[in-house]
């Protein structure tokens, strides 16, 4: 049985248990707490190792030069657009308003909002190990980026370090798989806790989350992808979407950007006339660093959870979400359960309660189908733009 099916069953059983056995719910709550602890355990080492590996995998910037830089910049630019759209949709549709969930009590003194200068200075850790221990995600990301760039600059002398981080990343991916395998039990306990405390009416806003994610995805695909193809590549957007429809459907059904890669490559070369030299570089890189669909999902879900717990997000919080999601997209796209892991990282960065993940995880499979389709569509769009700029697009397809 696939993990998403187990999680869905765990959610249903948890809902039933919380509704029927309210008094017995405290006995299963520790299982949910254990799952939350396991998620927290993964965040720092997973983000650090995968981000360093993602940066070092781009060591070909010196040889491929112009193409590499174009690809990298476009991918990150679309991710910024995606997370911004996700946040905007969440703010406008306010899917979590009225849930009135209560966040766990945290023993922290109230502090005034930091200034822009303090925020910028706070990005660079004075002690990276202290940042890791304290779970300061932004500082960990900055240190990981600097580490990856430094490894690339050194070249062959840094090969042992590069291989170490590649191995560490693989180990963390394996550990992530173990934690995700435990997710059905954890989700069962967390959902039972929510239903026992707040009743079944607490689950109704999940439909609004799905609709908000769908709205954000459609806006991004039509405006950013359709507009980019039409204005920058001077290519018929309807022909573009028709040409990659097979890849979109495979992505929707498999929820795997990497698994869809052969189909995407076929669509780009055979249906849209992109050269093999471009697809062989841009598409695999996109499977690694392009997470537009996931970025939309993170924006919507972060706002939803904040609204559900009655937490007001500041402008600084929104900038932190955009910054964190964009940089984290470099190294975590290929991780099983990447959406939930990245969401938990963003929630930690802005101080949202991780218990809110239970609500999102219960519908994560549906959200995953949606975000993977957007991710693959974004891979195709960037590939077309790069091919057009490098004159690697067959004229017959451009004028068709």
Please write the tens of the pLDDT for every residue from 62-102.
Answer: 544 677 788 888 888 898 899 999 999 989 988 877 776 76
Q: Is 33's pLDDT higher than 80?
A: yes
Q: How many residues does the chain have?
A: 400
Radius of gyration of the chain measured on its C-alpha atoms:
21
Please write the tens of the pLDDT for every residue from 252-306.
Answer: 766 777 667 778 888 888 888 888 778 877 787 777 678 888 888 888 888 888 8
In terms of Cβ atoms closer than 10 Å to its own Cβ (0-12, 13-18, 19+), residue 155 is exposed
Banded pLDDT at 106 (limits 50, 70, 90): very low
List helix spans (H) across the chain: 3-20, 29-56, 61-64, 66-93, 116-121, 128-134, 137-154, 159-198, 205-219, 227, 237-243, 245-254, 257-266, 276-289, 292-308, 315-328, 338-350, 357-361, 364-389, 395-398
Q: What confidence score (pLDDT) does residue 378 get?
A: 92
- Report in angstroms the alpha-carbon separations of 82 from 73, 87, 212, 223, 225: 14, 9, 13, 11, 11
Q: What confidence score (pLDDT) does residue 225 get?
A: 94
* Sequence-separated (6 or more) residues with CB below 8 Å from residue 397: 272, 273
What number is the average pLDDT over the span 233-240?
90
Q: Is 212's pLDDT higher than 80?
A: yes
Please write the tens of the pLDDT for every residue from 312-322.
Answer: 888 888 888 88
Q: What confidence score (pLDDT) does residue 89 get?
A: 92
What average pLDDT is seen over the chain?
Answer: 80
Q: What confidence score (pLDDT) does residue 113 get?
A: 43
Taking alpha carbons only, the member of 188, 212, 400 closest to residue 301 is: 212
Domains and CATH numbers, the chain: 3-398 (1.10.3860.10)
Q: d(Cα 51, Cα 140) in Å, to the nearest integer?
A: 10
Q: Is 166's pLDDT higher than 70?
A: yes
Q: d(Cα 119, Cα 122) in Å, to the nearest integer?
A: 5
Distance between start and end Cα atoms, the chain: 45
């Amino acid at each position: 049985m696939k993990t998403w099916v187990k999680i869905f069953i765990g959610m249903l059983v948890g809902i039933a248990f919380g509704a029927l056995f309210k008094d017995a719910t405290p006995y299963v709550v520790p299982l949910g707490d254990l799952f939350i602890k396991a998620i927290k355990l993964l965040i720092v080492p997973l983000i650090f190792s995968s981000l360093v590996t993602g940066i070092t995998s781009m060591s070909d910037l010196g040889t491929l030069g112009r193409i590499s830089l174009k690809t990298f910049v476009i991918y990150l630019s679309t991710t910024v657009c995606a997370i911004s759209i996700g946040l905007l949709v969440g703010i406008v549709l306010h899917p979590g308003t009225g849930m009135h969930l209560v966040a766990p009590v945290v023993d922290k003194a109230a502090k005034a909002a930091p200034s822009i200068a303090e925020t910028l200075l706070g990005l660079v850790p004075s002690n990276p190990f202290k940042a890791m221990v304290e779970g300061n995600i932004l500082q960990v990301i900055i240190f990981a980026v600097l580490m990856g760039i430094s490894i690339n600059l050194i070249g062959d002398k840094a090969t042992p370090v590069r291989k170490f981080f590649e191995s560490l990343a693989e180990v963390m991916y394996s550990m992530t798989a173990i934690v995700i395998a435990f997710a059905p039990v954890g989700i069962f306990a967390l959902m039972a806790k929510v239903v026992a405390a707040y009743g079944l009416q607490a689950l109704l806003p999940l439909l609004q989350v799905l609709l908000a994610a769908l709205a954000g995805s459609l806006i991004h695909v039509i405006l950013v992808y359709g507009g980019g193809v039409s204005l920058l590549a001077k290519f018929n957007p309807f022909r573009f979407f028709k040409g990659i429809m097979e890849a979109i459907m495979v992505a929707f059904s498999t929820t795997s950007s990497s698994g869809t890669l052969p189909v995407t490559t076929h669509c780009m070369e055979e249906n849209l006339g992109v050269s093999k030299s471009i697809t062989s570089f841009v598409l695999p890189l996109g499977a690694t660093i392009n997470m537009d669909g996931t970025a939309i999902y993170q924006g919507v879900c972060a706002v939803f959870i904040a609204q559900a717990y009655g937490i007001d997000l500041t402008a600084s919080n929104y900038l932190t979400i955009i910054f964190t999601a964009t940089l984290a997209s470099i190294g975590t796209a290929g991780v099983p359960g990447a959406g939930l892991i990245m969401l938990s990282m963003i929630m930690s960065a802005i101080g949202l309660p991780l218990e809110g993940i239970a609500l999102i995880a219960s519908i994560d499979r549906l959200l995953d189908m949606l975000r993977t389709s957007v991710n693959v569509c974004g891979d195709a769009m960037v590939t077309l733009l790069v091919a057009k700029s490098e004159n690697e697009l067959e004229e017959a397809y451009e004028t068709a």
